[in-house]
Each structure stands twice: as C-alpha cells, then as structure tokens.
Amino acid sequence: MTSPAQKLRAMIAAKKHFIAADTYSVLTARIIEKVGFTAGYMGGHACSAFHYGVPDNGIFSQVEMIEQAGRIAAAVDIPIIADADTLGETVADAFHFARRYARAGVAGIHVEDEVNPKHSKFQNGLCAIADMQFRIEAAVRGRGADAMVIIARCDEMYGPPIGGGGGSFEEAVARGKAYAEAGADVMVYPGTSPAQNAELIAALPIPVCVLGPVVPGTAFALHTGWGWMGAAELHLERATELMETGKVTMTSMFPRKGEFIEQDFYDNLIAEWAGKTGRQVR
C-alpha cells in the first residue's frame, strides 16, 4: 500500500504542477479532496487562528499542530502537507516532532528558518545557516522509512513588518543550497517574485514550490488563506445579521453536508446492526 509520503514524492517526481489546497479541518480536507485537489496544505496561521484564536508567531505549539494534522491525514486519501514552523527550538525537538508528524500520517512538512518569536514585532532575523542545516538533518533522521517530504522554508526575502528576512537574494540562494545539502527535498521562499522564483529554480539542485498563488514553473503551490479566512468572514457576516435583524439570510443549509461527514455510511451501519439484533429502525 502506498503511503501518503510516497504519494507526495511521486507527485513531485512527476514534475507536473499541482496545488496543495487550503485545509484546516477534516471537513475542509474532504471538501478539497472531493472537488479534485490531489493534495492538501494545513497552514499554521489557518490552524492557530481557527482552532485556538491565536496568531502564528510561535505560540501555537507543534503538539497542537500534530494533533490536528493527524486527524486530517487520517480522514482523506490525498497527501497532507503541514506547516511545522521552526520544528521546535533544538535539534532534539526537530527529530522528535518530525517523527511524530510522520507517524501521524502527514506526507510532508515545511520547516522555516526565522528565529522565534516569529512574524512578530521582535527584530529577530533568521537562524544561522549551520543551525538550520542541523535542524533539517534531524528532521530527515526522524521522518521514518516512508521518507516524509521535508520542505525547507527560507524567509530571507520575507522581510518587515511581518517577516525576519534581510532581503538579500544572494543570501536566499546560499541558504537554499545549504538546506538542500542538509537533506531538504524542496525549497519554498515566501515573498519572492515570479522572476526571482525562476532564478531560484535554475540555481538550486532541488525543486522550488510557492506559498500562495500559483507561479508557473514551480513544482507546486501551498495555497492557503482563502478557505479559513472566507469561512471566518462568512460566519462574522451571518452572526452580525442575526444579531441585528433576528434572522439569517441563507439560500440553503448546505445540502451536501451528509456527503462530507459520511452520513449514509453510518446510517447504514447502524441500520444493519439494528436489523441483525432485532431492534427497530426508522
């Protein structure tokens, strides 16, 4: 039986661009799978905001992320890629958490090089190249026999006010080569332009993917934001309408709900049990 990691590796090796679509729950993962996406992406910001109501600046722990990722990965057949932030603070953390992601059935993770607390007001910068290499090497050792895909995220081009990068393209290339040498399977660079991505693809020995909209020539896109933000925005609109008017304007009650929660399967299972044991059904 092909594992999720093996499926993802085969997709990357095929060199046919794909989109890992936004998912932050089992229901949304089943939706993107049913629509036809061949992979899902579980962003850290999506999960920290939607499930815990906190920002993505390092306070959302790997334990919480792994628990959610495991639920999603177990519920669908498409491979799931998870945002593993910095994968902890030490190489021991990186090994331990990579092993837990792999055992949870996650197909791939991306590991970033910004110093915690990341994406915050703290002027942090990126960790030393050697430290990131050790982190990647530890993740490679911990990922298991199915070889979960390790995506190294370099934030050098992702600068203030959100990121900690310095904006040096030469540094971004140097880091990419070093991360590939340490065992990363794919690189991702938030904040780069399509032209810069083309240069990175030419310069690096491993594939380059993107975080956000599709960029031609890249291996795949980790496409997040539209799902969880859209759901939150819709909830806010309907809650406000209900509070202000006493009603909610809706065209339907999501008639395909049963399809995504396996309603028929469980109804039939219960009916079968009831029938075989002489209990009444309705």
For residue 149, the SS3 value is: strand
Please give the average per-residue pLDDT across 4-29, as a whole number: 97
d(C-alpha 70, C-alpha 87), whole Å: 16
At 184-220, the pLDDT tens digits run 999 999 999 999 999 999 999 999 999 989 999 999 9
Instruction: Please check the confidence at residue 122 and state whether its pLDDT lies above 90.
Output: no
Question: Would you state the pLDDT for residue 247?
Answer: 95
Q: Model-level pTM greater than 0.85?
A: yes
| Residue 37, both tokens | 């996406």
**What are 41-53's pLDDT values in tens digits?**
999 999 999 888 9
Distance, in Å, from the CA atom of 61 to the CA atom of 167, rounded to the nearest integer, reads 28
Report CA-CA distances (Å) from 44 to 8, 27, 112, 228: 20, 17, 12, 11
Contact 118, 58 (CB under 8 A): yes
Asked: is 4-230 a CATH 3.50.50.100 domain? The reply is: no
Structural contact between residues 14 and 215, judged by C-beta atoms closer than 8 angstroms = no
